[in-house]
Amino acid sequence: MLKEKVTLADSFTVINRTILKETDRKILTMLYQPIIGSIATSLYFVLWSYLDKMEVMSDEWTHHHLETSMRLNLDEIIIAREKLEAIGLIKSYVKKDDINHFIYVMYSPVEAYEFFSNPILNITLEHNVGKIEYQKIKDYFIVPTINLKGYQDITCRFDEIFESIDFTNYECLVDDMKKSRINKVNPISKLDINKVFSYIPDELLQIKNVPLKTKDLLYKLSFIYNFDDEQMSNLIMNSLSNKKINEDKLKEQCLNYYQFEHSGNLPSLAYKNQPEHLRKNTNSTSRRAKMIYTFETTSPYSFLSSKHSGSKLTKNETEILSYLLLELNLKPGVVNVIIDYVLKESDNKLVKSYVEMVALQFARSKIETVEEAMKLAEKEHKNKRKKKDNPVKWLDKKIEEKEASNEEIKDIEAILSKYE
């Protein structure tokens, strides 16, 4: 993935590669918005509004205009754009020059049926809105069943009404025709599909007959639940029917297993590592620069795992990362600094209450970059050292005894009389 810094002077054009319908607005606000947030959803609608009357292509605009019209700073717009890219709603291209020119290609949201069939989108939606709201949203898109008992199907067939004629020299050009296009969400999973199948005996599963769509489902399930190869193979073996993978049963098995391991909670999504615009671009090779680079480019899961030789995280450690990334909404690089600081301050012990106390301070201080986080951690470390070197000895001091005046005695008595 290439990243290109955006300036206010850089221009952009919006191109529509699909057919955008009014029903898409419902899907975007009810299904996508709880996942990507209101700013990203608003950006999609704004880009949509720039299209011409034929909804094909926009004029050329600057990012300064976009910033002004949305009343947001450019960094917020870039984060929103990246979310739209990641969820499959737009693709971005850049042509470099003195002033860079970007093209934002729009794609349709998936249909409600496909959204609820996608474990990543479906489970994240339920986690973000809660079970009650999730069921309401799902019910909204369910088509009511019509009882046709007693009715007879009298629909005409095509050949009953029309007949074939000779289409001599007929050429059908449809490649450039407008049609609904979606850009599917395809996360890269760490799952080794061949290794997963190697754990399963041949007599239980006909591996060569596993369809591509089922393999795609395995990748998505392993991504959203963070399952390793062995866990995934065990779940598959519990979901077999007639030497085939029962997809519905597999989804149910994965959900139940994850909730059992995580106190009934559902997984959600967070930034994998530090967003590009919050990174420090430097060519320095100093030890500090290398530390900053490590904090910025490593996911919190991998960073914490590396602290104990790459072994799998415990349930408690996973919950701590979830709290920092999802509940406090801290940036991944900042989370890495907090983890590193807590481990150094508490003899390599990750005590949840202490992590929460430190993290709340970082959240209140609105720390977003690794450099800011490191400075605050260093400051807190120095303050701790000072307190150890100069302990407060106020208990050793004699409290000065002084007679109270008549007026002070009256005030005290007036206060005490309220409690008689």
* Span 64-79, average pLDDT: 91
Q: Are 100 and 88 within 8 A, CB to CB?
A: no
Between 280 and 139, the higher pLDDT residue: 139
Bridge partners (DSSP) of residue 92 are 104
- The pLDDT, as a whole number, for residue 178 is 67
Token output for 17 = 């590669």
- The pLDDT, as a whole number, for residue 297 is 84
How many Å apart are CA 85 and CA 106, to the nearest integer?
Answer: 10
Instruction: Find all residues with CB under 8 Å of 136, minimum gap 6, and list them.
Output: none
Average pLDDT of the chain? 83
Which percentage of the chain shows pLDDT scores above 90? 32
- The pLDDT, as a whole number, for residue 396 is 44
How many Å apart are CA 200 and CA 192, to the nearest integer?
Answer: 13
Reference 29, options 19, 11, 8, 44; nearest CA is 44
Residue at 212: amino acid letter:
L
**For 203-223, what is each residue's pLDDT tens digit?**
888 888 888 889 888 988 888
Does position 89 have pLDDT exceeding 60, yes or no? yes
How many Å apart are CA 27 and CA 51, to the nearest integer?
Answer: 20
Q: Kindly write down the DSSP assignment for every residue of 13-48, as one continuous string.
A: EEEE-S---HHHHHHIIIIIHHHH-HHHHHHHHHHH
**For 300-345, what is each residue's pLDDT tens digit?**
888 888 887 767 778 788 778 878 887 788 888 999 999 999 999 8
Does position 399 have pLDDT exceeding 50, yes or no? no
* Span 59-68, average pLDDT: 94
Residue 179 CB: number of other CB atoms within 10 A? 9
Using a 10 angstrom Cβ sphere, with 0-12 exposed, 13-18 middle and 19 or more buried, the burial of residue 207 is middle
Confidence band of 403 (pLDDT split at 50, 70, 90):
low
Using a 10 angstrom Cβ sphere, with 0-12 exposed, 13-18 middle and 19 or more buried, the burial of residue 250 is buried
Q: Are 93 and 105 within 8 A, CB to CB?
A: yes
Least confidently predicted of 39-53, 160-174, 315-329: 160-174
Residue at 364: amino acid letter:
R
3-state secondary structure of 106: strand
* Span 62-78, average pLDDT: 92
* Domains in the chain with CATH codes: 11-109 (1.10.10.10), 193-261 (no CATH), 276-389 (no CATH)
